[in-house]
Each structure stands twice: as structure tokens, then as C-alpha cells.
Amino acid sequence: MSKVFYETAAIDYANAAPHIGHVYEKIICDFLARFHRLDGYETNFVTGTDEHGEKIARAAKNAGQEPQAFVDYVSEQLFQPAYQRLLISYDDYIRTSSERHKRYVQEILRKVYEAGDIYYAEYEGLYSVGSERFVTEKELVNGVLPGDSEPPILRKEANYFFRMEKYRPWLIEYLSEHPDLIQPQAYRNEVLEMLKEPIGDLSISRPKDRVPWGIPIPWDENHVTYVWFDALLAYASSLESRGLFEKFWPHAWHVIGKDILKPHAIFWPTMLKSAGLPIYKRLVVHGHILAMDGRKMGKSLGNAVDPLALLDKYGVDALHYALLRDTTLGSDSPFGEEVVAQRLNSDLANDLGNLLSRVRTMLLKYCGGVIPAPSSPDSEVARAGVALAGKVRKEVDALRIHLALEEVLQYVRGLNKFINDVKPWELARDPGRQKELESALYTVVEGLRIASVLLEPALPTKAKELRAALGLGDYTLEQTETWGLSPAGTRIPEEAPILFPKLEARTENAQAKTEPQSSNALIGIDDFAKVDFRVAEVLKAEKHPKADKLLILTLNVGDHTRQVVSGIAQYYTPESLVGKKLVLVANLKPAVLRGVESQGMILAGEDAQGRIVVITPEQDLPPGAKVR
RNA sequence: GGCUAUGUAGCUCAGCUGGUUAGAGCACACGACUCAUAAUCGUGGUGUCGGCGGUUCAAGUCCGCCCAUAGCCA
């Protein structure tokens, strides 16, 4: 079987800037493309912009621009730079206003016309300008199509129609012969359900005098092509215009959002059939990204996350990884900055990045900075390592990308455990056990090599960096199925930057976003009254046995004493505090700091040099006095 | 109204064709360790597996009804 993979991401409608939903889909596609490349598939990955239609003509007019200038801007200044910064590894970017695309659309239109599948008819009905289609009265809610801002208008016009209904029985049969065509299965069921009722014929043109912005119908200059017949063909025109159609088309995977299922699952196969072209191989349907609270994301709701802001703050690898790891393909998934921060800190920094640091330090310390001789392929870690690619492949084939990544991370955690178990630092104390030590370190290096390759589709820059920090280059997926390919004697770099520095999410910002109407962090008197401030006298102060920065204070709060742990050891000696009166937050939830319970908090301020200064009463107050 | 999904630990999710005391990661608590990015490793859950009923020796897993959520169709 030839290993060829063609993949398309939906082409984006060029009427506004890209949002997290666009980015999500491209990152899924990028993962699949990179995965297949690593697995030895000759791969072609295409996306682009859909640039025709009435809505774009109107958006251009609103912007005071000609349509072409407007879509040039949206495509070249908004979408493409964003995807390049996100390292979306597409091989071609197809724009529907390009000559190569227009020529192909006209060629296909002619074919379908000659096959007798296009006819001319007059149509009258309610037309929604917002959705660019005729609507039925039943669809309307209070006279307006849901999602539209204006009610539909009565419109009568003559259009060309594609005999889609004619192909309905064929499509039903095709779907039953190809049960894996549409995935996940739920969407296949949905399509089959749609096909139980007549699907009607598809209007494929608009009169040019009303909508001049489109591809002319080749045999009738007074009409332009309607948006779907134009847009869907971009998946094919990209290949055809590069002379790659024959080779790649039969292997086509389309990745789309669930909102455009019908055009891809019904319009598109019938169009291809009529034009005498093979049907694509797979339609992968993903869900939508939701806000963290599970609600829909939207500009008007004020809860939209900006993918480029996340990119700037957390880096391209963490964004890819989090989006792939924390969503389930096919279902809607909540997502936000907290998710990225969480995944960056726990999976990437703690588990993976820290593992790299550990092994690097030990190689430098115990092995002269050189990768030692290979360890036995019979160890448990080795067996699990060479078997990992198989497990990952299986999950990716089933489009369970989040489980594929978890599979690799489990292995990474296993490597951390392995180090804890063999305790190389103990082996290092006994010169007679140098061999054992080296074998253990080799095992970890080799495990990291394998894991880094399998994570590379989700970590476009850091997987390579990780290997570089061990003096290693690139490997294919297949090369992770053999133990011992890290060359012994490789000198690792003396210095390597922290692979994944940790970051905190600004949760207070995220909250402000979800509640745009809140009065910008101002609190009411009620909130203030919840805090119980008390004057407290220091009876005893001592250093925390397990922390340099902490002091343990015993406080007299009038009717009782309390123990509070405070991070002021760098600025106050224990003796200097005894007898001082401080301000205590008396109703703070107790916390345990490095093993010692803290029953409250001492108020303190910070000067320009960052010195901490405790707050004391200006005149004497009795212990336990309430502070307001 | 019809249809299709989903509903499993605080959160995100695994649980194949029904079969031992229902699992993982995160978060949390405690302990161990020091090679490491205050990292890692170990231990710790009384979860009505949405509800009710049914089939079965046995149901999270099959069937029926109901509830909730999402979506499609009308």
C-alpha cells in the first residue's frame, strides 16, 4: 500500500480575523500532517481562504474597500501571518479569488453542465442576506432567522441548479459501503438521517447584477457561482494547479467543524460524483471550542480567548499541546488560558522538561557529558518504549489524539519513576557500579528520544530542542520502534536552556473577562466586612525548620494564641519580632506551609527595593482589638 | 414534535463484543528522595457509573421509559 496522505483544513471565510476555532482546526490538521510525515507518508496539507460571496462584498463595502483589496488584506495580513506564527505546516494555501482556482471551478462547472446535471429555473422565496440563502418560514423565529440581525426579504430570481437530489440514492449506498467515510460515527448517523428526506437540488449561482463578487458561470456571464460550489472545489484546485491531483486526491482527508457537515457530507460527494471524480477518503468532524464555563464563546459574551495572546504568552508548543490534549475530537470542549498554563506546568515542565534536566545533569556529572553504551533492550522501559509507537498510531488512527498524547506522557512519567527506582546518585557513590549507572542513564536518554519523536507532531519546536539538548538529531516514527539508536559517545551540549519555563495563568484576568460588567476589581463594603483583622502580639518567633524564608510566629490574639507561618525570615530575625504588635487576618482559612499549619496571615507591605515591612499600630492597641 | 449523540471521582476523560473489590491524569493531603524547573516517586476516594424499571447466574456495559445537555431535521 502506498503511503500517501492528503489533508485539508476547511478554508476560512475571509470576512473577519481568525479566532480560536480556526486555530483549533488548523492545529488538529497540523498534528495529523506532522504525524503522517514522521510515519513515512508522502504528505500534502492544504488550507486557504474562501473569498467570494455576498457577505464578503458587504464587509468590503463597510470597510470602504474593493472586494479584492479587502480579501487580500484578510487573507495576507490576518490569516496567513497568524498561521505562520502558529507554525501550521501547510504545503499550499489556496485562495478562491486566485486565477488557478477560478479556472478549475469553471472547468468543473462545465463538466457537470455537460453531464446534464445543471438546469436553469426561477425561484421565489424568503432570502436571508446574513446567511446568503433562501430560508423557509418554519425556520424563522419572530420573523428572523436565528443568528441573523435582519429579517429575510422576499426575493425572486432565476438561478442555476445542480441536480443533487438525483444522487441521493447513490450517496446513501456509498455511505453504507464506506462506513468509515465520516468520523466520528455520530456525524455519519446525522448525515444518514438527513438523507432519509429529499435533499432537493442545490442552487449554485447568483445573478451577477446583484452579487458581482464571484466566479462567472462559464456559459452565462450574467451569473456567478454560489459560494459552496466555488469553495469546496478549492480542496481539488490546489492539487490540480500544482499537478498533484492524481497522486494525492484519492487519499484525501477533510477536517471540518461540525457546523459545515452538510455541505461536506452531501453537497461535496454528489458534486464530485457528477464531475466524474473520486470521492474523498475521510471526513473528520470536530466540535467547537467553548469558554471555560462551558458556554459558547463569543465576542458579545466577552469570553472569547485570543489565540495569538496565548501564543505570545505560553509559546507555540504549549498552545498546540494543550489544544490537542484537552479537547476530544468530535465533541465541544471548554478551553482557556488556565488549560494552557496547567498543561504547560504539569505535563511539559514538571514531567517532560524536568526529566530532561535531570538526565542532562547526571550525564554531565557522572558520565563526562557523553552518552554511554546502549542498555539492554530487554528491560521493561525498553520494551514499553519500542511498543509505544504502535499504541500511539492506534489512537491517532481512531482520531483520539488526546489519548495518544496521554499514552506518551504515561511513558514519560514511567521514566521519572525509573530514575527514582534505580537511584543513579547512589550508584555514583560506588565506583564498582559505574556500568550499572551508565546503563540506567542510557535507558532514560533512549526513552526520551522515543518520547520526543512521538510528541513532535504536538510540539513542533520543543521536541527537536529536547533532542538537541542530548546531542541527538531527528528520527522517524519507525525509528522509535528499535531500542538503542541514540549513538553511544555522543557529547551533549554543556549548556541548554530550560525547555519549558513555568508560567502562572492570570486567573483574575480570566475572571474579569467572563464578567465584563463587573466594576473592575472594586469591592463593596460587604466584601471588606468579611475580613476579620485583629491586632496580635508576637509571643514567640522561630525559624521554620524546613524553609529558609519562613518564620513560625506564636501570637497573642487577646482571648487565645495562634500559630502563623509568615514569609518574612529574610527581613526580620525571630528575636526582633517578639513583643511587636502586628495586624493579623484572623479568619483566613488555615493552610499548611512546608508541614507547619498557619492559622492566619500577617499584613505587610513592600518598599521600592522589595523589602518586606510588617504593619504595626501607630499607637498601642490591646491584643485582639478589631481593625477596621 | 422526530432523530442522533452525550451524561462515570471536584475538573478533563478511559472503560473492547455484559463477568473478579469501576480506572487514569490534574487538583488536594501526607510520606520518601535529592540527579532535577520548590521538580520527581509512593500512599490516600463513602463515586447512588443521570433517574426508574426490565432481561440475565452476572449490567457502567443490553432493552424500555423518564430527566438534563448539545446538535441535526421538520
Overall average pLDDT of the A44-57 stretch? 93
Distance between the alpha carbon (CA) of A235 and the C1' atom of B72, Å: 25
Q: Interhelix angle for A168-177 vs A185-194, to 10°?
A: 160
- Cα–Cα distances (Å) from A130 to A95, A107, A558, in that order, read 22, 29, 70
pLDDT digits (tens, 9 = 90+) for A138-156: 666 666 766 667 777 787 8
pLDDT at A510: 33
Tell me the three state secondary structure of residue A47: strand
Measured in residues, chain A has a length of 628
Within A258-326, strands assigned E span 282-286, 289-290
Which of the listed ranges A142-151, A205-214, A480-489, A514-523 does the model predict with the highest average pLDDT?
A480-489
Residue A298 pLDDT: 66
* pLDDT tens per residue across span A256-310: 998 899 999 999 999 999 999 999 999 999 988 888 877 777 665 666 788 999 9
Q: Which of A193-207, A369-383, A478-492, A614-628 has the weakest average pLDDT?
A: A614-628
String of DSSP letters for A183-210: ESHHHHHHHHHHTTS----EE-EEETTT
Nearest partner of A355 among A274, A213, A470, judged by Cα: A470
Residue nearest to nucleotide B4 (CA to C1'): A190
Å between CA of A343 and C1' of B25: 11
Residue A376 confidence (pLDDT): 94
Burial of A236 from C-beta contacts in 10 A (0-12 / 13-18 / 19+): buried
The spacing between the Cα labelled CA in A189 and the C1' in B52, in angstroms, equals: 28
Q: Which nucleotide is nearest to A414 (CA to C1')?
A: B41
Band of residue A126 on the pLDDT scale cut at 50, 70, 90: confident
The 3-state DSSP class for residue A145 equals: coil
The Cα–Cα gap between A232 and A188 comes to: 19
Which helix (H) or strand (E) segment holds residue A124: the answer is strand A118-128
Q: Which three cell numbers stand for residue A194?
A: 438527513
* Nucleotide with smallest C1' distance to residue A196 CA: B73
Using the predicted structure, report yes or no on whether residue A546 has a pLDDT greater than 60: no
pLDDT of residue A560: 67
Any idea what DSSP says for residue A260? Answer: G
Please give the angle made by the CA atoms of A335, A337 and A339, to the nearest 5 degrees.
Answer: 55
- A434, exposed or middle or buried, with CB in 10 Å at 0-12, 13-18, 19+? middle
What SS3 class is residue A524?
A: coil
Evaluate whether A109 touches A225 at the Cβ level (below 8 Å). yes
> Nearest residue to nucleotide B2 when comparing alpha carbons to its C1'?
A193
CA of A169 to C1' of B59 (A): 39
Q: Report the amino acid identity of residue A493.
A: P
What residues pair up with A156 in beta bridges, in sequence order?
A: A124
Closest nucleotide relative to residue A406's CA, C1' based: B25
Q: How confident is the model at residue A523, as a pLDDT?
A: 42
pLDDT for A297: 75
CA of A138 to C1' of B1 (A): 13
Residues A153 and A449: their CA atoms lie apart, in Å, by 62
Lowest mean pLDDT among A14-28, A144-158, A338-352: A144-158
**Cα(A330)–Cα(A328) distance, rounded to whole angstroms?**
6
A120, amino acid identity: Y
Dist. CA A208–CA A214, nearest whole Å = 8
- As a whole number of angstroms, the distance between CA A563 and CA A585 comes to 12
Q: Cα–Cα distance between A616 and A628 in angstroms, integer?
A: 14
Ramachandran sector of residue A496 (left: φ over 0; alpha: ψ -120 to 50; beta: rest): beta
Q: Using 50, 70 and 90 to split pLDDT, how confident is the model at A492?
A: very high
Of chain A, the percentage scoring pLDDT greater than 90 comes to 58
Query: Closest nucleotide to residue A197 (Cα to C1')?
Result: B73
What band does A103 get if pLDDT is binned at 50, 70 and 90?
very high
Contacts of residue A265, defined as CB under 8 A and 6 or more positions apart, other chains included, come to A182, A187, A191, A194, A283
Provide the CA A611 to C1' B34 distance, Å, integer. 31
3-state secondary structure (DSSP) of residue A508:
helix
Nearest nucleotide to A357 (CA to C1') is B36
Considering only CA atoms, give the Rg of chain A. 32
- CA distance linking residue A43 with residue A251, whole number of Å: 10
Q: Which helix (H) or strand (E) holds A447?
A: helix A434-455
Instruction: Give whole-number Cα distances, A302 to A15, A293, A307, A327, A396, in Å.
Output: 20, 13, 14, 22, 34
State pLDDT tens for residues A505-530. 654 333 333 222 222 233 444 445 56
A250: Cα separation from own chain's centroid: 28
Flag the least confident range among A184-193, A345-354, A373-382, A589-598: A589-598
pLDDT of residue A587: 67
More confident call, A291 vs A564: A291
Helix (H) or strand (E) holding A553: strand A551-556
Task: Residue A393: name the closest of A380, A379, A408, A412 by CA.
Answer: A408
Which residue from A47, A52, A20, A15 is spatially nearest to A32, judged by alpha carbons?
A47
Q: What is the ipTM of this complex?
A: 0.91
Instruction: Kindly tell me if the per-residue pLDDT of A452 is higher than 90.
Output: yes
- Residue–nucleotide distance: A482 CA to B35 C1' (Å): 27
Question: Among all chains, which residue has been given the C-alpha cell 446583484?
Answer: A210
Residue nearest to nucleotide B30 (CA to C1'): A595
Give strand B nucleotides closer than 7 A to any protein Cβ.
2-6, 12-14, 24-27, 29-42, 70-74
Q: In whole angstroms, what is the distance from residue A449 CA to residue A464 CA?
A: 10
Q: How far is the CA of A343 from the C1' of B37 (A)?
A: 14
